[in-house]
Structure 1
Amino acid sequence: MMLVESVICGVIFLLTKGARCEVTELIAEAGSQVVLPCKCEASQCDPAAITWSKNDKGTVWRKQSSGLQYWGSNWFGKGDTRVRCPHSEFAKGDYSLQINGLKEEDGGLYTCKVELRGHVTYTKVMLRVLKVSISPSAPMWGELVSTQCTLTPRLDGAVVQWMLNSYPLGPKTPGVINLNEGHLTAKAADKLAGTWTCLVHKSKNVWQASVELSVKGIIQPPKDDTKLYAALGSPFTMPCVFSPGFSPTRTLVEKLNSRIPQVFNNRSSSSSSWDKSIIIQEVVPENEGKYTCTGTTKGRRLTRTMHLVVAKIVMSKKKGSMMLSCQLSDSSEVTDYEWVHVSYDINGTKSVGPILHGQTVSVKESGGEWMCRYIGKNGLLGNVTTQVHFMAGLSGEKSSGVSSNTGTVIGLSFLLVILLLILAQMYKNHQRRKRILQYPALETIVHTVSNEREEREKNRLKE
């Protein structure tokens, strides 16, 4: 191709007085904007006549020395021109051609002809269009996907490489069935969803084009064995969401690895036909474990697995303080724990204290609400809260109050004992009086003796 272009330029140079021929190589991605360079190097470039043409489509755009502009019939339609030369650059001698919404058929050899005071300059630009296509663009799980990378016109000696989400793809990549440079066939799966990039290498130059591939199926949870986090005692929604537009049948959310498989039918409030999530009204320790979300759509049975992790806060007293421990049934994804103290004043205004770190923290005289946030490498995984109530005796200041209460209790106990003794003596006197009343003569004798004793006492005092 380059040899043919050189011959053409040589012929133009010989046949045209003062002509100059330059060749520029450009590669651009389909759908993008590209600028084909063409500049006048004379000290005074106005007024000049410029003509842009394509080897197989004739005139693209031209401007007469009078300033009138024309577009070729293949490049102008319904008032929308995909090609233009910015007027503001004409005075600077810049007649570069701008093409918007680049198409595959736009690839080819372009010529910019500049006529200025009998001097003619030819600038040639080889435009190659790089395009990546996927069919079907949104396959279902298990369907075959065909991807193709094309360069129009072809570039001899170019090497094609494939990338998926910035990682190289090869024949041994899971899901890849056939890899033949510009063409790749794979079986649709979650791991193949994302950005597919075709890289074209030639010498030290690299060009690339990308396209997005989305795989239809179950979108929530996003992948198998996804860990979900729920706080003990709180409600939780177990996700089971299919691609929008799907109306799956025989959907089921089931807990596995239990003696009797647990099937949940308490659906979420979503009205969409593809959201089959279920609600656990109150999480209990037994909810921890592995679950599946399954459903049938377009004759294909789809399944997604997930693991529910239950979180709780365990409290214990230790040397005048309260120990709070954040415990998860599976902490393999946790990289850090953050503790936040939330309190409210008499007006209900909320305030947040400083953040503490660690799975277990010591709390002193800081009752109220404590929240444990567990963090993973990609951010927050979840949180769990608890209410802390401090009892008397947890601090030294409250110990004196305990001693004072102990003294009061002892004093009341002493008075109670005296009262019981008095009551016992009164009971004994009452019983004795009852026995005496049974013998009237004895009672007379007792009274007589008692009166005589009193008389003797009075006479002795008088003496």
Structure 2
Amino acid sequence: MWCRDMWTLGVKFRCVVLVGAVLALSGGPCEAEDILVPLGSDALLPCSTSVSRRAVAHAAAIHWRKNSNGRVRTVCRRERSGLEFRHVSLAGRTQCPQSDFRSGDYSLRICATRAEDGGEYICTVQEGQRKTVKTVFLRVIQVLFSLPTPIEGSRMQMTCSVNPKPQGATVSWKLNGDPQPRYSSTVTFDYLKQTHSGNWTCVVGYKQAKGEATESMEVKGITIPQNDGLMVYGAPGSSVTLPCVFSEGLRSPAVAWEKVSTATKASLPLPLSFNKNTSVFSSGALSPASSLGPWDLSARVESVEVKDEGTYRCSGELQGNKGLRTRVKRDIQLVVAQVFSTLSRNGSRTLTCHLSNASEVTAYEWLRVTYDVNGTQTVTPAGKSKVMTIPKVTETDIGEWVCCFSGKQGILGNATYHLHMISGQEGVERETGKVNRVAMVLGLGFLFLVLLLFVLQVYRNRRRRKMTMPYPAMESIVHSNFNERERRQIEKQKTKSKGVVDV
């Protein structure tokens, strides 16, 4: 605090030394103002007076000087005669607009400001017997990076430099226009990521002044995808691309693909249809499978199978600053989407949209796809749920049923189920089967009843034989009586038949 007060007193002292004698005659004020501008922009140092037009009728003398650590030098000077003088180092970048002089505006414009342009500027205006002195502090802001080439995984510092640096200034940061929770003039990145790439803006506030400077930072490494955990969706039989694109201009890295077990982190065999991009960085030739150039090391699964779901890793070794090599990697998850079909006892068919990982899915939608005789496709919304139920399958339900699933960023993918004619006839065949089963049950019941009566008759005959077995004479009498009854019945029938013929 003491140092700051002494510095303020020093400014006031210099101001008194410069105009002390004149103040007794003119009473002109001594003011100080801060101007904050980004490096490379144009700076306007204000200096104006509020004099009457009668006083302005006399030509004014203007003198702009810069105080550099106690050494004062002329920046721009204009005599009453109109003769101008400019410092050699700023001759091509300073401008005193003469068109504004008659309005009392004697501001100094510095084009394409540099860091060394920052400092204390003193404006002295002599208008007749009136002399005005004003002090302006030009502070140049710039964003500096500690590494010439930011490499993913490296440690780097980012600094908001202000020249000259004000005591008690506030500093805040923005990335691509979004405020960041960083309030120090120096920010340290222990591990650079692709998400750190973008336009970094340093916002400086001091007293009533506010300024900002922006610098672009491009982190070299794997640009697509920027983070681990990217999910790629594919249906069985379809082809999917696993993206892995490196920054342009990097030297040839050793790139490897592997499938990683989520539980043990061990390497697993790659799918049989796994196809690596064979482009080489150093060759400079474009890969036939990519439009991103030789830095595209993406892979492709030509025909997805259910067992192909899981985590795939793309890794490469990059040569960074001072020849140091840094290894970067990306984990990409392949999610397999398919439709399960089940037929219930009441004849309704249920279609279920199943994903091996549905953590990103927020909504489902079923679409009915039909084609006319000309091959024109018609898409009709059918439902918005994970499960689709068809109460009774008819011929109009035959065709494609598409399950579309989406997340916060939009549509993620889809899976298609083909409902064939055989599947559609299962409902009718099921009803026919019910009727056939009823008839079969009735037939078997009647056959069982006949068989039961036959067995009962056999049992009765056998029991009767057992009862007559101990008495042979009784058995012969029983048989004789039985034979006699049969003879009488036969004769009786013959007699009736003969009587009818005689009549």
Question: Normalising TM by the smaller chain, what interval?
Answer: 0.5 to 0.7
TM-score when scaled to structure 2? 0.63
Partner of 2:232: 228
Cα offset for 1:27? 2.4
Give the alignment of 1:10-409 within 5 angstroms.
10-16=16-22, 17-18=25-26, 19-44=28-53, 45=56, 48-56=60-68, 58-62=73-77, 71-77=86-92, 81=93, 83-85=94-96, 89-90=100-101, 92-158=103-169, 166-169=179-182, 182-190=185-193, 193-194=196-197, 196=200, 198=202, 200=204, 208-257=212-261, 260-262=268-270, 264-267=274-277, 269-270=289-290, 272-298=293-319, 299-314=325-340, 324-339=351-366, 357-361=384-388, 372-377=403-408, 379-380=409-410, 382-386=412-416
Q: Deviations over 1:362-419 (max 9, x none)?
A: 6795776665443333x12522253665859989xxx9xx99xxxxxxxxxxxxxxxx
Give the match's secondary structure for 1:166.
strand
Match of 2:413, as an amino acid? N
1:276 is paired with a residue whose SS is: coil
Asked whether the 8 Å contact 2:349–2:390 carries over to 1, the reply is yes
Q: Is the 8 A contact 1:236 1:280 kept in 2?
A: yes
The CA distance in 2 between the partners of 1:91 and 1:342, in whole Å, is 78
- Aligned equivalents of 2:66, 2:397: Cα separation in 1: 79
More helix, by proportion: 2
Task: Report how far residue 163 of structure 1 moved.
Answer: 7.0
Answer with 182-191 or 232-241: which moved more. 182-191
Distance 1:84 1:192 in 2: 42
Task: For residue 55 of structure 1, give the secondary structure of its aligned residue in structure 2.
Answer: strand
1:180-215 CA distances to partner (integer Å, 9 max, x unpaired)? x54454433217723555555657877554434333
Contact kept, 8 Å, 2:61 with 2:80, in 1: the verdict is yes
| Cα displacement (A) at 1:142 | 3.7
Give distance in 1, aligned partners of 2:81 and 2:186: 50
Range moving further from structure 2, 308-317 or 354-363:
354-363
8 Å CA contact 1:338, 1:372 repeated in 2: yes
Contact 1:371 1:383 (8 Å CA) reproduced: no
After superposition, give the CA deviation of every residue in 1:130-164 in whole Å (9 maximum; x if it has no partner): 22210214322343323333321122234656677
Q: What is the match of residue 423 of structure 1?
A: none
Post-superposition offset of 1:109: 1.0
Note the C-alpha offset of 1:332.
0.9
In structure 2, distance between residues paired with 1:42 and 1:320: 98
Deviation at 1:115, TM superposition (A): 3.3
Q: Deviations for 1:323-373, whole angstroms, at most 9, x for unmatched residues? A: 554332111122223455666677766666569643345679577666544
User: Residue in 2 aligned with 1:459?
Assistant: none
Structure (1/2) with the larger strand percentage: 1
- Cα shift at 1:97: 3.0
> CA offset at residue 289 of structure 1?
0.3
Whole-angstrom CA distance in 1 between matches of 2:420 and 2:82: 88
Q: Deviations over 1:253-307 (max 9, x none)?
A: 1112288422745327238432211111122212210111122232433322221
If you compute each CA radius of gyration, which structure gives the higher value, 1 or 2? 2
Matched-pair identity in %? 35
CA distance in 2: counterparts of 1:199 and 1:29, whole angstroms: 10
Counterpart code for 2:276? N
Asked whether the 8 Å contact 1:255–1:292 carries over to 2, the reply is yes
Q: Counterpart of 1:262 in 2: which secondary structure?
A: coil
Q: Structure 2 unaligned segments of length 5 or more: list them.
A: 1-6, 278-286, 320-324, 433-503
What is the TM-score when the length of structure 1 is the normalising length?
Answer: 0.68
* 1:117–1:140 distance in 2 versus 1, CA, 3 Å: same
Contact 1:136 1:145 in 2 (8 A): yes
Deviation at 1:13, TM superposition (A): 3.7
Summarize the Cα distance change of 1:168–1:68 in structure 2 as closer, same or farther, 3 Å threshold. Answer: same
In 2, Cα distance between equivalents of 1:370 and 1:91: 80
CA distance in 2, matches of 1:214, 1:74: 34
